[in-house]
Amino acid sequence: MALPFFVAGLAVGGLAIVAFNNRTKIADEFQKGVKQAKKIARKELDEAFNFAAKVKQELKPQKPKRTRSKKKKPEEENKNAS
């Protein structure tokens, strides 16, 4: 019953040794992946900000046009002045 665990332990130990011996190569590949992920994230973030600005501009409420106010009759002006 212990034989499968022994074999699994040997496999994991072997993989650990191989990984340790190639640690610089693994670290370099990891760094490349991180740089690529940063580029992709920055690009997507910029696109999201541009999209949000576009939507905000489209949804911005329009100011109502100013209409000319009716001229007050002289009688109304005198009442307001008193």
End-to-end CA distance of the chain: 108
Rounded mean pLDDT of the chain?
Answer: 84
Residue 77 reports pLDDT greater than 70: no
Strand, coil or helix: what is 15?
Answer: helix
Per-residue tokens: 67: 């209409």
Contacts of 26 (CB under 8 A, 6+ apart): 19
* Confidence at residue 57, expressed as pLDDT on a 0 to 100 scale: 85
Global pTM value: 0.49
Strand, coil or helix: what is 68?
Answer: coil
